[in-house]
Amino acid sequence: MLTALFCDQVFRPLLARSLCDAEEDAMERTREGHIIETAREARGGERGPSVVGVLSISTISVISLLALVWFVFFNHVA
């Protein structure tokens, strides 16, 4: 109640699509006891290859850095 009142008085006059609309969109909808979500809500994250790319590049970078540290400091070849 207080949040809705605050949104109506403060945010709606300032923004075309306000933060209040986002709250209303995120409200839980149920049908026959089951929660109904859109595909975007169900995923809850980013789709696409960018996540795999970031994970791959960071993993390769860390392995390379650790290999470099090992060769410089701990590789004692007689």
H or E element at residue 77 = none
Q: Taking residues 11-39, what's their average pLDDT?
A: 65
pLDDT score at 49: 82
17 pLDDT tier (thresholds 50, 70, 90) = low
6 pLDDT tier (thresholds 50, 70, 90) = low
Q: Taking residues 19-38, what's their average pLDDT?
A: 69
State pLDDT tens for residues 30-75. Answer: 778 888 888 777 777 777 788 889 999 999 999 999 999 999 998 8
| Ordered alpha helix ranges (H), the chain | 2-6, 19-25, 39-43, 50-73
